[in-house]
Chain A
Amino acid sequence: GAGVSQSPSNKVTEKGKDVELRCDPISGHTALYWYRQSLGQGLEFLIYFQGNSAPDKSGLPSDRFSAERTGGSVSTLTIQRTQQEDSAVYLCASSLVGIAGAFTDTQYFGPGTRLTVL
């Protein structure tokens, strides 16, 4: 079946512009996660959705970052007034049940969106 898809695959933008990154999770997956991977840094957690609500936004680096999920499916991560330090690969993952099965639930990752801020 179809896996997690993300768009665009690459995004180049100028400092100060807003960007939107999209994630289409696996159909039927309740939980959705955003991570980012910067050059020289590991993968860091950004935000987690259970259905349409985001019980954990603790990883968002600043108030320039926001995310929403509608219809329990597609999610968008928005970065306002982008800065050069926002350059990274943004990864989305989904899992079947999230918190209800967090002990054993496995996450399926998309290919990521590479964001470059000039």
Chain B
Amino acid sequence: DAKTTQPNSMESNEEEPVHLPCNHSTISGTDYIHWYRQLPSQGPEYVIHGLTSNVNNRMASLAIAEDRKSSTLILHRATLRDAAVYYCILPIYNQGGKLIFGQGTELSVKP
């Protein structure tokens, strides 16, 4: 199963953009890249996913490298409510799409 690696922590200032990197060098051609986040004392929530092309939704953007060995989650304007642990995951498609969570990146946002 393909693994992902992320920095343990990052800091951002409120209202500034945040780029959260993820490496997945052993990704296979059919692996989708999913991002979830977990706010304090809550269950994880879905953020965004993509395969090859960059993706945008109301929460964030996902930039995927051309070789697909890395991706970046972009929060365009961080707010205090974006402080959370962000997980980059490649769901295991032949096992029901189960999610294997790594350590994730703990994002802190300073006012």
List the B side residues contacting A48 at CB < 8 Å.
95-96, 98
Binds A, one of B13-21, B61-69, B70-78, B100-108: B100-108
B93 and A42 contacting across the interface, CB-CB below 8 Å: no
B42 and A98 contacting across the interface, CB-CB below 8 Å: no
Mark contacts of A69-106 with chain B using CB atoms, 8 A cut-off: 1 yes-contact digit, 0 otherwise: 00000000000000000000001010100110111111
Q: Which of B51, B97, B100, B102 is packed against the most chain A CB atoms within 10 Å?
A: B97
Within 8 A of B (CB), among A39-57: 42-45, 48, 50, 55-56
How many inter-chain contacts with C-beta < 8 Å in the A-B complex? 77
Closest residue of chain A to B101 (Cβ to Cβ) is A43
A91-B43 contact given A102-B93, A103-B30, CB 8 Å threshold: yes
A-B contact pairs, 14 of them (CB 8 A): A42-B101, A42-B102, A43-B44, A43-B87, A44-B101, A48-B98, A50-B96, A55-B96, A95-B97, A99-B93, A102-B91, A107-B44, A109-B43, A110-B43
| Number of residues on chain B facing chain A (CB within 8 A) | 27
List the B side residues contacting A98 at CB < 8 Å.
96-97
Whole-angstrom distance from the CB of A45 to the nearest CB of chain B?
A: 5
Q: Which of B51, B95, B96, B103 is packed against the most chain A CB atoms within 10 Å?
A: B96
Within 8 A of A (CB), among B35-53: 36, 38, 42-46, 49, 51
Whole-angstrom distance from the CB of A79 to the nearest CB of chain B?
A: 19
A103 and B43 contacting across the interface, CB-CB below 8 Å: no
A56 and B95 contacting across the interface, CB-CB below 8 Å: yes
Q: Does B99 contact A (CB under 8 A)?
A: yes
A108 and B46 contacting across the interface, CB-CB below 8 Å: yes
Closest residue of chain A to B103 (Cβ to Cβ) is A42
